[in-house]
Amino acid sequence: MDMVSVRQVAAELDIGKDYALRLIKRRAESLGLKPHYGKRNAVSLSRADADRLIRDYKPVRPFSGDAKAVEGGCFYIIQLHPEDLPNRLKIGYTDDIDVRLSDHRTSAPTLKRVQCWPCKRSWEDAAKACITREGCTVVGGEVFDGDIRAFVERAEAFFAIMPLPHKSSNQSLEPTARRRDVHV
């Protein structure tokens, strides 16, 4: 049987190895995947299972080869633990906010989406730098302790000067059209 390592799955999905492993564990039951454990608990999938996982995951990512595809997803701010640590925020880019929130709920089941803005993937680093330039502490990765209002204000200012990420030139430039949602 042709086996595919987690590293190969990660490379095919263009994601990190750790995220690929979590993805396999989360979607094993729903997709009928049968992970194989080898030496040192190395996880691999049959080629058919790997293809099924890749087909299931790919639709949430924009297909860059299609000239008519809309580029971009959204940049989000979420509260990871609103009851215990209300200023603990996670920021980042995603192609599909619902999938991202679902993924994060495994470790933060009470998370709340604060706000989401249309965004191109190439803007992520600049948006993060702008939003976190002052008044916050890095907890790790994309997680920060900081004032929610200040984060939202800096994000609003950043995205107000950015064009809409859609390729169509007839999109509205109204500020209200830029926001996907406000406070959940």
Shared-domain flag, residues 130 and 94: yes
With respect to residue 65, please indicate whether it lies within any of the assigned structural domains.
no
Angstrom CA distances, 127 to 75, 119, 154, stand at 8, 9, 9
With respect to residue 160, please indicate whether it lies within any of the assigned structural domains.
yes
Shared-domain flag, residues 93 and 156: yes
Per-residue model confidence (pLDDT) at position 18: 81
pLDDT at 177 over 90: no
What pLDDT band is residue 23 in, cutting at 50, 70 and 90?
Answer: confident
Note down the domain range covering 36: 3-60
Q: Domain total for the chain?
A: 2
pLDDT tens per residue across span 54-99? 888 753 433 333 333 345 689 999 999 999 999 999 999 998 898 9
Instruction: Sort 115 into a burial class: Cβ within 10 Å, 0-12 / 13-18 / 19+.
Output: buried
Shared-domain flag, residues 43 and 86: no
Which of the two residues, 184 and 58, has the higher pLDDT score? 58
% the chain with pLDDT above 70 = 81
Per-residue model confidence (pLDDT) at position 157: 93
pLDDT tens per residue across span 28-44? 888 888 988 888 878 89
Backbone angles phi, psi at 74, to 5 degrees: -145, 155
pLDDT at 183 over 60: no
Which whole number is the average pLDDT over 9-17?
Answer: 80
With respect to residue 66, please indicate whether it lies within any of the assigned structural domains.
no
What pLDDT band is residue 10 in, cutting at 50, 70 and 90?
Answer: confident
Q: Structure pTM? A: 0.55
Share the mean pLDDT of the chain.
Answer: 81
Shared-domain flag, residues 17 and 40: yes
Shared-domain flag, residues 142 and 94: yes
Shared-domain flag, residues 50 and 120: no
Number of helices and strands in the chain (H, E):
7, 9
Whole-number Å distance between alpha carbons of 21 and 153: 36
Shared-domain flag, residues 10 and 47: yes
Whole-number Å distance between alpha carbons of 48 and 60: 20
Shared-domain flag, residues 51 and 85: no
pLDDT tens per residue across span 111-146? 999 999 999 999 999 999 999 999 999 999 899 999
